[in-house]
Amino acid sequence: MVSVRTSTLLINLFIFFAILSTLLGTFLALPFFIAAVGCLFYFRFDQVEKEASDEILVSRKGPHIIAHRGASLDAPENTIEAFKLACKNGATAVELDVEFTRDGVPVILHDSTVDRTTNGTGEISSFTLPELKVLRASAIHSSRFPDVRIPTLEEGVRQCLHMGMKIFLDCKGINASKTADTIANLFQKYPDLYGNAVVCSFNPWIILKVRRRDPLIVTALTHRHHFLSIKSPGSDEPRFAERWKQFLAGPLDMLLEWSHNSWLWYLCGNSAFLAHIDQVSVNYVNGWRALGVSVLVWTVNEPHQKEMCLKSLGCPYLTDTLTDSTTKQHSKRE
C-alpha cells in the first residue's frame, strides 16, 4: 500500500503540475515539472530514525514543556539563570537562539541587536565576545537578576545537558554554511546532543545545510502565518518599509506556507514542525502526524492554551512562563 507520506507528496506534486500547466501550458510546464521533481528526490534527506528522534521529542511523562528562550517572562531570556529557573519550575526542555559575535563566537541571543535585552546598543555582529561579556543581560528582570551576562552557545548547552534538559536550538542569521558548520562541530564535541537536541529554524536553507553536514542531527522547521510580510505574531506592522518589497511579501507568504505543507518537510527530512498557536487544531496536528512529523506549538502562555496542547492535542509547547497553575500541575507528572 502507498503510505500517507507518499500519497500526500504525490497529491501535492499533481497540484503543482496543474498550477504550472495553467500558467505556462502543458508543453512548457512538463520539462520544468520534471526538473523540479527530479531535484526534490535527488536532494532530499531521509528522516532520522524514529527511535532516535522520539528519544528527544517524546517524553514518558507526557508532552514536553519547553521554556521559550528559557521562559523569558520569569527570568532574563536566553541566560544561564533563566535555564536554571526553568528547570526548577518544571520545564523539561529549553529553546534557545543562536547568533554570532564579530569574532565568530556563537552566543545565545534572539535579536540581531543587543538593545532590547541588555544595557548596550548595537548589532551583535559588531561586538567581540569580551566586549559582549561586559554587558548586563538582565533587561526587565534587573531587580531580581542584577548581574546576568549573555552566555556562549557552549555554556548554555553544557548547562542544559548537566540538568538533563532537552534543547531546541533556534538558528538564525543569513550565513547558513557558517551556522551549519558551528552546529555540526558542536554535536561532534558534545555527542550527547544527538539524543537531546533538535536544530530548528524558520530558514529551510539552514536546515538543509545542517542535514548535509550531519544527517544524524534531528531537525525541524518553524513557521507562522504571514512570516514574510508581518514582523511579529498578533501584529499588523509590515516587515518592509519599501512598498515593492511588502507587495511581493504577500504572494511569497502564500508560496512559503504551501511549500511547508506540501514538500519542504520531505526535502529536509524533518522529524518535527514548530507551529504557531494560531495555526493548530486537532486536524492540523493529526495531518502532520500522519506524515511522521511531530508538532510542537509556540508560543503558549495562556493556561487554557496549555491545557489544549497537553490534553486535546497531546503536543509539546513552548512557553514564556512556567509560574501559572497549569504548568505547575503538569510539571509534577509521574
Cα separation of the two ends of the chain: 39
State yes or no: pLDDT of 139 exceeds 90: no
Given the DSSP bridges, would you call strands 272-276 and 218-223 parallel, antiparallel or unpaired? Answer: parallel
Least confident range of 9-23, 71-85, 235-249: 9-23
Let me know: does 206 contact 183? Beta carbons within 8 Å: no
Phi and psi dihedrals of 253, rounded to 5? -60, -45
Between 7 and 229, the more confident residue is 229
- How much is the pLDDT for 61? 85
- How much is the mean pLDDT over the chain? 93
Distances (CA, A) of 176 to 33, 63, 182, 219, 270: 27, 30, 10, 14, 17
| DSSP for 147-215, written as a single string | S--PPBHHHHHHHHHHHT-EEEEEE-SS-HHHHHHHHHHHHHH-GGGGGTEEEEES-HHHHHHHHHH-T
Given the DSSP bridges, would you call strands 93-100 and 106-108 parallel, antiparallel or unpaired? Answer: antiparallel
Summarize the confidence of residues 203-209 as an average pLDDT: 97
State yes or no: pLDDT of 24 exceeds 90: no
In order of their start, the domains of the chain are 1-43 (no CATH), 48-330 (3.20.20.190)
Summarize the confidence of residues 254-281 as an average pLDDT: 96
- How much is the pLDDT for 162? 98
Distances (CA, A) of 131 to 76, 93, 119, 120, 121: 19, 30, 12, 10, 12
SS3 label, residue 67: strand
Based on DSSP, count helices (H) and strands (E) in the chain, helices before strands: 13, 9
pLDDT in tens, 157-197: 999 999 999 999 999 888 999 999 999 999 999 999 999 99
Reported confidence tier of residue 334, pLDDT bands at 50, 70, 90:
very low
Between 155 and 59, the more confident residue is 155
SS3 label, residue 288: helix
- How much is the pLDDT for 331? 58
pLDDT in tens, 53-101: 999 999 888 899 999 999 999 999 999 999 999 999 999 999 999 999 9
Summarize the confidence of residues 284-296 as an average pLDDT: 96
